[in-house]
Structure 1
Amino acid sequence: MTLATVTPSILVVEDEPAIQELLAVNLKHAGFLVARAASAEDAWAAIGTVLPDLVVLDWMLPGQSGVALARKIRAEERTRELPIIMLTARVHEEDKVQGLEAGADDYVTKPFSPKELIARVRAVLRRRAPHLAGEAVEIDDLTLNPATHRVVAGGQPLDLGPTEFRLLFFFMTHAERVYTRAQLLDEVWGDHVFIEERTVDVHIRRLRAALESSGHHERVETVRGTGYRFRGA
């Protein structure tokens, strides 16, 4: 998962052009970035290039099935946390169980309501990737709103650059966990961006400077020999 943008990206894997178009149009209208694939093979190639934030995956695809692709996604370290919503005409309980056991986070049957699908997408993102749900996050009197791109501490707005904003967003939604510089590069800059790990240190210093007036700079802790942690309590 990446915070290279706070607009969630959805990969739609659907071989029926009319349904693919319906999905893409409605997801775009709901504010998501959308990529498309008509087969499991094309989808895997797309995922290999840019990791999306969620996959809407049709069960029946030409060649490799959606279930097989879901299992492949779950088997790889880079993609195993990627949220998946399975889309299918199968309505029997055993089919639903099979899809969920393959790694799907949710299961939507055809025909479906676009509004219901959007609600399911938001619910899965809220559960699996809260930093992409578009909701404000708060720790004490520090509030970050991804929709308005504003940060407020003690009632006073803070001026953060775009990278520091994404870094703080990630920290606030993943508080108390230690992350290496390499992990922060993958999560905040994107896993296909090649930047020196020490670049993280520069932006950590800028973030601390921006938070210093409110006293929240002390939350950004250096863990010697490992990386950084954001103190939530």
Structure 2
Amino acid sequence: MTHILLVEDEVKLARFIELELNYEGYQVSIAYDGFTALMAAQKFHPDLVILDWMLPGASGLEICRRLRITDDKVPIILLTPQEEVGDSVALRKNRIPGLDAGANDYVIKPFSIEELLARVRTQLRCNQQEGTADILEFDDLILNRRTGEVYRGQRLVELTTQEFDLLEYLLIHPRQIITCDRILEEVWAYGFIGDANIIEVYIRYLCLKLEANNERRIVQTVRDVGYILDN
């Protein structure tokens, strides 16, 4: 079971997040201050840390830096203080130090639990995929994650960043039906504002490029469900 360390000094909020994470199938340990968090991280070796910015004693930033010294792999999501929407200067002041301290992502208080859960899933998925080979292959299709090159046979296929990310995701999950909602959440990322039909548009662009020399179709549409990489 995936183990999450939640570091939050607001007891009611911590309990609420714990219950939601438990419902999603995660095991949760709670620390209410930085010192306890460091001890818990050393003891449990969690798969992910949710870390509040404001903590008694050492700040969340300091705890983040210390966690990075002992574990450079564990994903850390930082819960930042409440900020005024549209205050770009304040946003930059809070976000950049957090990332510099080693955080992988951040969620601004107050936040919806759906957003936090989506970011948890994304960070866990990204961490799992770090062990994936640099070269992803399917049929005559080759994607090099390190160089960003894609080949169909001997032909170099020029893709946009979004097309590359979409194809990479399909290659990581070959012969699996992937819903549009899942693509929006895990490729476009939570918070995407726009028409879900954008997925259909990008799939069409991707297929046109992959089949430019009349190659057979390997990105298939599953009507009213999603898409699948299959031959």
What is the TM-score when the length of structure 1 is the normalising length? Answer: 0.51
* One-letter amino acid of the structure 1 residue matched with residue 72 of structure 2: I
CA apart distance, 1:136: 1.8
CA apart distance, 1:167: 0.8
In structure 2, the CA distance between the partners of 1:92 and 1:115, relative to structure 1 (3 Å rule), is closer
Cα deviation digits, residues 21-56 of structure 1 (max 9, x gap): xxxxxxxxxxxxxxxxxxxxxxxxxxxxxxxxxx99
Cα RMSD over matched residues?
A: 4.5
| Larger Rg belongs to | 2
Distance 2:193 2:175 in 1: 26
5+ residue gaps, structure 2: 32-36, 50-64, 76-121
CA apart distance, 1:116: 5.4
Aligned residues: 163
In structure 2, the CA distance between the partners of 1:92 and 1:166, relative to structure 1 (3 Å rule), is closer
SS of residue paired to 2:182: helix
Matches within 5 A, 1:1-233: 57=5, 59=7, 61-64=8-11, 71-72=18-19, 74-75=21-22, 88-90=38-40, 96=44, 104-105=46-47, 114=68, 117-119=71-73, 128-129=125-126, 130-131=128-129, 135-140=133-138, 141-213=140-212, 218-231=217-230
Q: Residue 5 of structure 2 contacts residue 41 of structure 2 at CA under 8 Å; is this kept in 1?
A: no
* One-letter amino acid of the structure 1 residue matched with residue 156 of structure 2: P
CA apart distance, 1:183: 2.4
Cα deviation digits, residues 107-131 of structure 1 (max 9, x gap): 9xxx97846512455xxx9984344
Q: Residue 141 of structure 2 contacts residue 152 of structure 2 at CA under 8 Å; is this kept in 1?
A: yes
In structure 2, the CA distance between the partners of 1:154 and 1:186, relative to structure 1 (3 Å rule), is same
Greater relative contact order (CA < 8 Å, ≥ 6 in sequence): 1
In structure 2, the CA distance between the partners of 1:57 and 1:126, relative to structure 1 (3 Å rule), is closer
Distance 1:191 1:126 in 2: 12
* One-letter amino acid of the structure 1 residue matched with residue 137 of structure 2: I
Q: Which residue in the other structure is 2:111 paired with? A: none
In structure 2, the CA distance between the partners of 1:192 and 1:112, relative to structure 1 (3 Å rule), is closer
Distance 1:65 1:117 in 2: 29
Distance 2:72 2:42 in 1: 23
In structure 2, the CA distance between the partners of 1:149 and 1:56, relative to structure 1 (3 Å rule), is farther
Q: Residue 143 of structure 1 contacts residue 152 of structure 1 at CA under 8 Å; is this kept in 2?
A: yes
* One-letter amino acid of the structure 1 residue matched with residue 39 of structure 2: A
* One-letter amino acid of the structure 2 residue matched with residue 63 of structure 1: E
Aligned-residue identity in percent: 22
CA apart distance, 1:142: 2.2
SS of residue paired to 1:89: helix
In structure 2, the CA distance between the partners of 1:66 and 1:222, relative to structure 1 (3 Å rule), is same
Distance 1:91 1:161 in 2: 39
* One-letter amino acid of the structure 2 residue matched with residue 89 of structure 1: M
Q: Residue 47 of structure 2 contacts residue 124 of structure 2 at CA under 8 Å; is this kept in 1?
A: no
In structure 2, the CA distance between the partners of 1:91 and 1:151, relative to structure 1 (3 Å rule), is closer
* One-letter amino acid of the structure 1 residue matched with residue 47 of structure 2: D
CA apart distance, 1:153: 2.8
Q: Which residue in the other structure is 1:28 paired with? A: none
What is the TM-score when the length of structure 2 is the normalising length? Answer: 0.51
